Amino acid sequence: MCGIAGVMFNGTGEVGVLLTSMLRGLQHRGLDSAGVAFFNTEGRGEDEYVIRVFTKDVVGVISKVSTAIAEAGGDIRNISIKTMNGYGFDRYIIKAKEGDVRRIVDKINGTDYSKVLSAGRRMDIIKDATTVDELDSNFELGKFSGSHAIGHVRFSTESNVDLLHAHPFQSFDHLDVALVHNGQITNYWKSREKLERRGFKFQTNNDSELIVHYIVERLNGGERLSDALEASVADLDGPFSYIVATGTEIGMVRDKLGLRPMVLLEGGNIRAVASEESALRILGKEGTVRNVKPGEAVVWSAR
């Protein structure tokens, strides 16, 4: 019964304010965690990336992470340190070759003190095992501007309730892709085994992480996002709806039986999608609201 939402501006706008309001309208669908992924189509400077790192608050951990980044070929340009409840939620801006980013992520994760939550040139993920209001208060979500964003509130039915199992999920095998999901993938283990044999590394047992790796494999193979979404309807079993965002697009899909809800708003200056119409009411009456059809895939491109 998780809640998912996405919004795309014609240009740029206050994505933090708007998405946070939408998620508040979905808070009743889950209190276990909340998370957002913000995107800016312009991205950062050449070879410049934002990395969010979750760390244990122990002496020397910043030095260990900094050393890991340098050893993998990264050059740190800025560090923002934030500590809450004995853990760090640290933000690094680094300069690196795109091919080195995956190696940097693996090096940081290999310190045993830290886990990378997000890495991208156009994307920034913020999530925690908390409510929307607490996430907003702790990270000042309303200050973020950009072209589009997706978000999630979680009601766990299977996997752990903690930060690493919170949404959005990303795959470090293709940067600037994030996903939020409502439902279950019933052929999870069979599908996961196939992806692991092809080299994908899973950080959790959450079936939502499976979907983002599935999409990324197809994008890496040269498929369009719309093709990947349509293929998932045939290949993934179970009741689901999900939203996936890239640096320039938002895509959404429902399972072939339409067992999980999804409504969207189109035709105005802002396009939006959510689990319930309640999350779209704050956008006013501009545009047309409709249900996404069972098995339907929709993709919006940034303008």
Nearest CA-CA partner of 254 in 244, 239, 264: 239
Burial of 272 per CB tally in 10 Å (0-12, 13-18, 19+)? buried
Answer for the pair 116, 105: CB distance below 8 angstroms, yes or no: yes
Answer for the pair 21, 282: CB distance below 8 angstroms, yes or no: yes
Q: Distances in Å between the alpha carbon of 270 and those of 7, 19, 35, 245, 275?
A: 7, 12, 21, 16, 17
Answer for the pair 55, 61: CB distance below 8 angstroms, yes or no: yes
**What DSSP line would sit under 72-129, residue for residue?**
TT-EEEEEE--EETTEEEEEEEEE--HHHHHHHHHHHHTTSSEEEEEEESSEEEEEES
- 2 an active-site residue? yes
> How far, in Å, CA of 298 to CA of 300, rounded?
7
3-class state of residue 255 by DSSP: coil
Answer for the pair 126, 82: CB distance below 8 angstroms, yes or no: no
Place of tokens 């925690």: 128
Instruction: Please pick, among 2, 69, 216, 302, the residue that the annotation labels catalytic.
Output: 2
Q: Distances in Å between the alpha carbon of 298 and those of 44, 223, 250, 271?
A: 27, 15, 8, 12
Q: Hey, what are 270's tokens?
A: 């802002």
Q: Which amino acid is at 97?
A: K
φ, ψ dihedrals at 157, nearest 5° = -115, -15
- Tell me how long the chain is: 303
Q: Hey, what are 72's tokens?
A: 């993998």
Which are the catalytic amino acids? Answer: 2
